[in-house]
Structure 1
Amino acid sequence: MSIPGKQARHLDGIRVLDLFAGPGGLDVAAHFLGYRSLGIEWDLNACETRYAAGLPTVHADVSVMRKTRFDEIPTSVDVLAGGPPCQSFSVAGSGAGRRALEKVTKYIHRLVEVGDESGVDEELKTLDPRTALVLEPLRWLLKAIETQGRDPYRVIVLEQVPAVMPLWEVYAEVLRGGEGRLQGVKYEAQCWELRTEEFGVPQTRKRAVLVARRPEHGVIEPPEATHLPFALHRGRSAEQADTLMAESAIDGARRRWVSMAEALDAASEPADSPVDVSRLRADGKTDFFVVSNYGSGGDPKNRGRRRSSEPAFTVTGKISRNKVYRSVADYEAGRSDRFSIPESGVLQSFPRNYPWSGKDQAQQVGNAVPPRLGMHVLSRALRGDTPSEEELAAAATWPTVSRATTEELRAIGCGDTSGCPPDSHKVTRLPRR
């Protein structure tokens, strides 16, 4: 990082360090809860979105940052967060994901109990490079404990796909113990599998979440779901769904899940919104259905469908390949549409006007943590409560960021390109005609 004057202004009061920060899902959540964050991100395209959004960022490899640039992290940071890449832990295929989980479990214990950094690094070379990254949050914690002038993180928040839950449980066990290199530093730690639609995200998606907190901050309670699970309504008539909603109002005042139409209609209301679903309107109302890019039931030709009155499928980097139809007639005629990037972001619960930038924007959207879920998790972890309705309502719109601020943040994150990942700033020049 460079330009000390600008750095001091933009990095002042940073509380949250977001490893594998992506385009800013957790950072957006922290912002609307009143916490400042710093993200470390490897992908330059995601960094460009972050700079445009005014989010302090370091364009770097997380492991390199830990080893050689740890002193650049503000000492005000007391919350460690992140979602390491998960592809190498897939439960599909030949069982490689399960075997990777078993190996990483052993590495966790070796790092804490023996401090076998070099030995673990050497063995990790034989695995998918992404596998090593799930160890980084632990290594960042150990680095903070062993670095003079640093305090252990007060709170740790990690999230990933459900397949990674066994590793979060190992993390929790180790953090509760405080043994070996943890030097007696113990945490209260809990793991949960959360469904995004139960927190008002207009999308069905499951996430494995770990929250660890120093014991003096009290027992950790799970985030309180505010909406009903979508599966509750699958295969039921509208009348049955209304009955279930009435019963839920008596039990705990949970609202119905948020549909695609509800989310996109609300995002379309402001005159200057980049979201405009008028093209999907039939007879004056939003009424469409989505055909997934993915097959289901083992049949690649069996594409799942969701009505506009339902939550979206899990938003992935291929969301732009999903086909949107206004009617059955359009489907039969092959007349389809696609979700725009702002619309895809809204289905992830990003603000309607979030400044998506750089290339591979659909992939950025799909890789992100849904900010609304992030708000519930961070609020529970940091404050022990649920986000207020005012905070959640404010999260519909992102504040305007000046070009000067974007350029200053880019200079901080990429000012010295030698500190960025190799070849990430390489410019491909077109041949002369």
Structure 2
Amino acid sequence: MVTDEKLSLEDVAVLLSKSKETIRRWDNVGKLPAFREPMSNYRYYKRSQLDIFDEVKAMNIHTTHQEPQPSDEYTVLELFAGAGGLAIGMEQAGLKCVALNEIDKYAAATLRENRPKWNVLEGDIRNISFSEFAHQVDVVTGGFPCQAFSYAGKRFGFQDARGTLFYEFARTVQETKPKICIGENVKGLQSHDGGRTLKTMIAILDEIGYRVIDPKVLKAIYYNVPQKRERLILVGVRKDLDIDFNYPIPNKKVLNLSDALKKGKLFNCDVPESPGTKYPASKKKVLDLVPPGGYWRDLPLDIQKEYMQKSFFLGGGKTGMARRISWDEPSLTLTCSPAQKQTERCHPDETRPFTVREYARIQTFPDEWKFAGPVSAQYKQIGNAVPINLGKAIGQSIVEFLNEVSKQNEELISA
């Protein structure tokens, strides 16, 4: 029997390509009535409700698209590699990682432990030249940290970006001349400094010879990741290549926490046991009262006020606070620390944060991928990572692009 998926208002808006305001209006007029959680009044929908819409009816959500195979050996240089989330995804898509740069000693140790043959260049990217890889790599990828630019009196081209880690990303692209470069960042980069930061990054890539495809926010839940994580993808194609990059097609099939932690669609066994942090006794006492799928508004009013303090009187839902995830919904976005007050992600059945291996499962890391360092460092590595299955989907789109480049080159040679 197929479970009738529970979808958020935002999920429905994405599936129907409508605004959230339109979906709310449809609820109010009865065109698409929402269900509501008894205590929190949280609005949600069931997947079966959407079958009345032609755009959804036409989707065969169980159809898996054929994975593209590389027609040649394609190589990747990865910057800001972290614990390897994006690199594993690229590897699973059929791309060969020739070198990875990472400054964090624990993350670098994680990469070496799991892939002894990978060329891990540990250290500050600002002190590393990548000129040896000039014209030797097809792809440069990197989740560069977003930093503020100072615009005062500056034209703000490539040289003016010095001192930012985006400059190091662009500098590496300029040194190596890959066919395509892929930058990833938080969704907030779109609106950072009124959008000027992203526009500046696009202008800099254009200046060094790369045509930027319209940046797009990819929702991990539509790429076989049981987590509501969003990443902004910035793609630059070398200007001598008249081929467009196409973003991966969303599956429309949403996986839930049970898919991450239990034997099923994603993994062939239940999640292995592993270390994990604990809540202080005072927090545990509060979270014991929160039902699966609930949050602070499900607490008795006096406890709400005591727990939230000044935040109780501020606007906004703050749905991540005192939050217990249910089995039949995707996890909220994982953070670097699983027990912070603003970002609780409580286990559905037990009053505790997710363990290290549960964290890794939610990010779709393979069970055999080990993390170096103390437990706090392991959480940080996993929380910062690109989900593997999202990385794989991006990698497959890169393979399709590079296959087209290869095909075009062959046609030119034979002409």
Flag the structure with more relative contact order, 1 or 2, with Cα contacts below 8 A and sequence separation at least 6.
1
Which position in structure 1 is the counterpart of 2:222? Answer: 198
Which position in structure 2 is the counterpart of 1:189? Answer: 213
Contact 1:323 1:336 (8 Å CA) reproduced: no
Contact 2:363 2:388 (8 Å CA) reproduced: yes
Specify whether residues 108 and 374 from structure 1 end up closer, same or farther in structure 2 by C-alpha distance, changes over 3 A only.
Answer: farther
Structure 1 residue 49 corresponds to structure 2 residue 110: yes
Which position in structure 1 is the counterpart of 2:64? Answer: none
Deviation at 1:302, TM superposition (A): 4.6
Contact 2:144 2:166 (8 Å CA) reproduced: yes
Structure 1 CA distance for aligned equivalents of residues 143 and 74 of structure 2: 19
**SS of structure 2 residue aligned to 1:187:** strand
Specify whether residues 141 and 358 from structure 1 end up closer, same or farther in structure 2 by C-alpha distance, changes over 3 A only.
Answer: same
**SS of structure 2 residue aligned to 1:17:** strand
Contact 1:221 1:380 (8 Å CA) reproduced: yes
Which position in structure 2 is the counterpart of 1:40? Answer: 101
Structure 1 CA distance for aligned equivalents of residues 142 and 152 of structure 2: 17
Structure 2 CA distance for aligned equivalents of residues 270 and 385 of structure 1: 32
Which position in structure 1 is the counterpart of 2:39? Answer: none
**SS of structure 2 residue aligned to 1:373:** helix
Aligned to 1:172, which of 158, 180, 202? 202
Which position in structure 2 is the counterpart of 1:134? Answer: 166
Taking structure 2 as the reference length, the TM-score comes to 0.60
RMSD: 3.6
Structure 2 CA distance for aligned equivalents of residues 53 and 157 of structure 1: 24
Taking structure 1 as the reference length, the TM-score comes to 0.58
Aligned to 1:324, which of 329, 334, 346? 346
**SS of structure 2 residue aligned to 1:303:** coil
Deviations 1:377-430 (A, max 9, x none): 2221332499xxxxxxxxxxxxxxxxxxxxxxxxxxxxxxxxxxxxxxxxxxxx
User: Where do 5+ consecutive residues of structure 2 fail to align?
Assistant: 1-72, 275-290, 297-306, 404-415
Structure 1 residue 343 corresponds to structure 2 residue 362: no
Structure 2 CA distance for aligned equivalents of residues 106 and 53 of structure 1: 44
Structure 1 CA distance for aligned equivalents of residues 202 and 325 of structure 2: 37
Structure 2 CA distance for aligned equivalents of residues 33 and 50 of structure 1: 18
Residues matched between the structures, number? 286
Which runs of structure 2 are paired with 1:21-32 in the superposition (5 Å)? 21-32=81-92
Which position in structure 1 is the counterpart of 2:372? Answer: 357
Deviations 1:275-326 (A, max 9, x none): 58xxxxxxxxxx9658699989376995234311100010111125646355
Which position in structure 1 is the counterpart of 2:151? Answer: 103
One-letter amino acid matched to 2:395: L
Contact 1:320 1:339 (8 Å CA) reproduced: no
Deviation at 1:195, TM superposition (A): 1.0
Specify whether residues 56 and 74 from structure 1 end up closer, same or farther in structure 2 by C-alpha distance, changes over 3 A only.
Answer: farther
**SS of structure 2 residue aligned to 1:319:** coil
Structure 2 CA distance for aligned equivalents of residues 325 and 367 of structure 1: 20
**SS of structure 1 residue aligned to 2:255:** coil
Contact 1:19 1:81 (8 Å CA) reproduced: yes
Contact 2:144 2:165 (8 Å CA) reproduced: yes
Q: More helix per residue: 1 or 2?
A: 1
**SS of structure 2 residue aligned to 1:192:** strand
Structure 2 CA distance for aligned equivalents of residues 50 and 42 of structure 1: 12
User: Where do 5+ consecutive residues of structure 1 fail to align?
Assistant: 1-12, 89-99, 125-131, 145-151, 228-254, 277-286, 328-334, 387-433
Contact 2:212 2:234 (8 Å CA) reproduced: no
Structure 1 CA distance for aligned equivalents of residues 320 and 119 of structure 2: 43
